[in-house]
Amino acid sequence: MMRSLYSGVAGLKTHQTKMDVIGNNIANVNTTAFKSSSVTFADLMSQTTQSASGANAQTGVGGVNARQIGLGVKSGAINVNITSQGSAQSTGNPFDIMITGDNFFVVSDGLANYFTRDGSFYVDGVGNLCMTSTGYNVMGWGVDPETMEIKQDTVQALRIMSSDNLTYPPEATYRGTVSGILDKNDTDVNSESGKSINLNLYDALGYEYTARFILKSTDSDGVYSAELTKLLDAKGNEIDISGASELFGSGTSVADETPVTFNSNGFQWANTGSPTHLELQDKNGTTIVDFSALDFTATKDTNETAYNAVMKAYDDIAAAYGYEGSTEDFLNLYINDGATPPVPHTIQDLIIAAKNGLASGTASIADLDADGTIGMAKTGSTTQTSDFTASGRNFEGMVLKFDTDTGLFDSINGSITGDSKIYLSKLIANADDNTSNFSDISLNWSGISMFNNNGTSTLTATYGDKDGIGTGRKLGDMIGVSIQRDGMIYASYDNGMTKLLGQIATANFPNASGLQKHGDNLYEATMNSGSFDGIGVDVTASGGYMSTGVLEMSNVDLSREFTEMITTQRGFQANSRIITVSDTLLEELTNLKR
């Protein structure tokens, strides 16, 4: 039989194989991240009819080449163009990811790891990042709970939508900043009510509150008082702050003021009744305030009626002495006793002490005044109508000072750094463990200046320091997930926080062309590709990166494939002609016997 027949058959088979590869390439022209293949031919074998001989120097005969007849063709190799990058196809889906570079995503079916360039992912019902086509888990690295940084260990399934990640925990505010201009000509600052500024803050449960501060001028240039007067919840309800010691600053402070003399205006204090008790009477002897009916220990929460009666009594006493400011300011005026050095006592302290002293039959704090002009009855006195002099104003808060030459901040209660404390942790103790949901707040005042601003102050208080640390926050709900160029996955929350959820790991092989196709756009490692160590590499370690919202397209070049198809068709056609002509020759041979 003629060898050309079998050479033609081998040629047909080999060109058919190449046509199969071309067909597969064209069929996958729109397959995500598909890598085209190509076929190379090699001659099958040759029949040697005469071996080669060398030259004979003695006879002068030259050498003769070997005589070989080829027996056909075979597929030399089918190569996958795996290192050629496909074009980017924009999808807008944040979980569609394309790798630029030679790395591969690592996915798992729960038993084995596979590798793919197909970055079409989604989040399944339990929060795992998975392949859209197969549901295989995308593998990566988790976050170390202690350092909150990526821990590059054995790859694991990335569960980015776990219950722990859906919310960001709240945090209590523990720092604040006051800034702006305090103009000494501001009418609010110079009024009895003072200039109000509000600081918004959070407790440890994420509830929002507003702390209201009052700044007032004193008789000393560049010196102001700063008081925390109210704490309001998000609904505007006032939180009781009366039970907290050292609520703001270091406790009781005294503002420098010019002494003010108060005239009794005909009102008198009297020891009257049986048993003897203290009364405030008008000039006709009519009782205005009967102290025997007052309970100064009552609070608004324990006995609101008794508390209101005490507040009414305070109002009447302030009105009797013609005080034009608030009753609270009147009660906080102080009087120095006759000691050396003098000890300040507030009007409120003296009123309570005078009542208690008469009830017990002992001398009261009122007796400590050197000249006896406090105007409150002492033990043994029937009536007393004298005036009294207030030396200044006592308050729970801080003394704020400015450099009058430069207008810049000088100190707050002696602190030149500008830091003061609000001891909110002493408020609203939990009954079960005697703790508070609040954190103490370090409030910095150094950003205030005392410049001329046409009589308008621009003071503002913000939570957090100048670097945004200590702001506190409410409970945050997840509102988005973003994937960075290095594969790190971050969640964003509606309280302004972000959280690192994990990092997508990648695999890199010394010979990526040695990977074996597994189907479904997956590859598996072989002995010729190099092995996967179970940990993987950061995609940026080799200069690659990830892009979101895009997918890698197939790298099939249709113009090249159609050209290869033409040459393959011609080759197949030529080989079929070899068989036809060889058959004709055989036919002529059989016709010789006729």
Residuewise pLDDT in 10s, the chain (594 residues): 578 888 888 999 999 999 999 999 999 999 999 999 999 998 888 888 888 888 888 888 888 888 888 888 888 899 999 989 999 999 999 999 999 999 999 999 999 999 999 999 999 989 999 999 999 999 999 999 888 899 999 999 999 998 889 999 999 999 999 999 999 999 999 987 889 999 999 999 999 999 999 999 988 889 998 988 889 999 999 888 865 655 665 555 666 666 767 777 778 777 776 666 778 888 888 888 888 888 888 888 888 899 999 999 999 888 888 887 778 878 878 776 666 666 667 788 777 777 766 544 443 434 434 333 344 545 455 666 656 677 777 777 888 999 999 999 999 988 899 888 888 888 876 666 667 889 999 999 999 999 999 999 999 999 999 998 999 999 999 999 999 999 999 999 999 899 999 999 999 999 999 999 999 999 999 999 999 999 999 999 989 999 999 999 999 999 999 999 999 999 999 989 988 988 888 888 888 876
Give the three-class secondary structure for 65.
coil
Long-range contacts of range 462-467, CB-CB < 8 Å, 24 or more positions apart? 462/176, 462/177, 462/179, 462/199, 462/200, 463/173, 463/175, 463/176, 463/199, 463/200, 463/201, 463/202, 464/173, 464/175, 464/176, 464/177, 465/175, 465/176, 465/177, 466/177
For residues 388 and 370, the answer to whether their CB atoms sit within 8 Å is no
Domain of 179 in residue numbering reads as 170-263+406-474
For residues 551 and 98, the answer to whether their CB atoms sit within 8 Å is yes
**Terminal Cα-to-Cα distance of the chain (whole angstroms):** 20
Q: Which of 439, 426, 428 is nearest to 202 (CA)?
A: 439
> How far is the C-alpha of 55 from the C-alpha of 43, rounded, in Å?
29
Check residue 582 and give its pLDDT.
87
Domain total of the chain: 4
Does residue 278 sit in the same domain as residue 365? yes
The verdict on residue 393 lying in a domain is no
Residue where a domain terminates, one of 474, 491, 515: 474
Does residue 443 sit in the same domain as residue 470? yes
Q: What does the longest C-alpha to C-alpha distance in the chain come to? A: 167
Q: Which of 318, 67, 41 is nearest to 192 (CA)?
A: 318
Tokens matching residue 188 = 């609010």
Q: Which residues neighbour 234 within 8 Å (Cβ) at sequence distance 6 or greater?
A: 207, 208, 209
Residue where a domain terminates, one of 386, 421, 447: 386
Q: For the beta carbon of residue 297, count every other beta carbon within 10 angstroms.
A: 11
Q: Which residues neighbour 327 within 8 Å (Cβ) at sequence distance 6 or greater?
A: 311, 314, 315, 318
- Determine what percent of the chain falls in helix, strand and coil, rounding each to the nearest 5: 20, 35, 45
Check residue 186 and give its pLDDT.
94
Does residue 188 sit in the same domain as residue 287? no
The verdict on residue 297 lying in a domain is yes
Q: Which helix (H) or strand (E) holds 12?
A: helix 3-27
Does residue 431 sit in the same domain as residue 360? no
Check residue 149 and give its pLDDT.
92
Check residue 350 and give its pLDDT.
77
The verdict on residue 391 lying in a domain is no
Does residue 281 sit in the same domain as residue 364? yes
For residues 562 and 110, the answer to whether their CB atoms sit within 8 Å is no
Check residue 377 and give its pLDDT.
46
206: left (phi over 0), alpha (psi -120 to 50) or beta: left
Check residue 430 and give its pLDDT.
67
> How far is the C-alpha of 369 from the C-alpha of 342, rounded, in Å?
10
Check residue 203 and give its pLDDT.
93
Does residue 382 sit in the same domain as residue 273? yes
> How far is the C-alpha of 500 from the C-alpha of 509, rounded, in Å?
28
The verdict on residue 456 lying in a domain is yes
Does residue 429 sit in the same domain as residue 496? no
> How far is the C-alpha of 34 from the C-alpha of 106, rounded, in Å?
16
The verdict on residue 401 lying in a domain is no
The CATH number given to whatever domain includes residue 235 is 2.60.98.20
Does residue 18 sit in the same domain as residue 40? yes
The verdict on residue 71 lying in a domain is yes
Does residue 469 sit in the same domain as residue 535? no
The verdict on residue 397 lying in a domain is no
In degrees, rounded to 5, the angle at the alpha carbon of residue 434 between the alpha carbons of residues 428 and 435 is 65
Identify each DSSP E strand in 252-408 by its residue range. Answer: 252-262, 268-272, 277-281, 287-290, 333-336, 344-346, 383-384, 388-402
Does residue 212 sit in the same domain as residue 290? no
Check residue 360 and give its pLDDT.
46
Residue where a domain terminates, one of 356, 386, 416: 386
Does residue 163 sit in the same domain as residue 179? no
Check residue 28 and give its pLDDT.
94
Check residue 384 and give its pLDDT.
63
Identify each DSSP E strand in 413-570 by its residue range. Answer: 419-422, 441-449, 460-463, 476-483, 488-493, 498-504, 506-507, 516-519, 522-524, 545-548, 550-552
Does residue 268 sit in the same domain as residue 381? yes
pTM score over 0.95: no
The verdict on residue 395 lying in a domain is no
Q: Is the preceding peptide bond at 275 cis, omega within 30 degrees of 0?
A: yes
Check residue 7 and give its pLDDT.
87
- For residue 233, list its beta bridge partners: 209
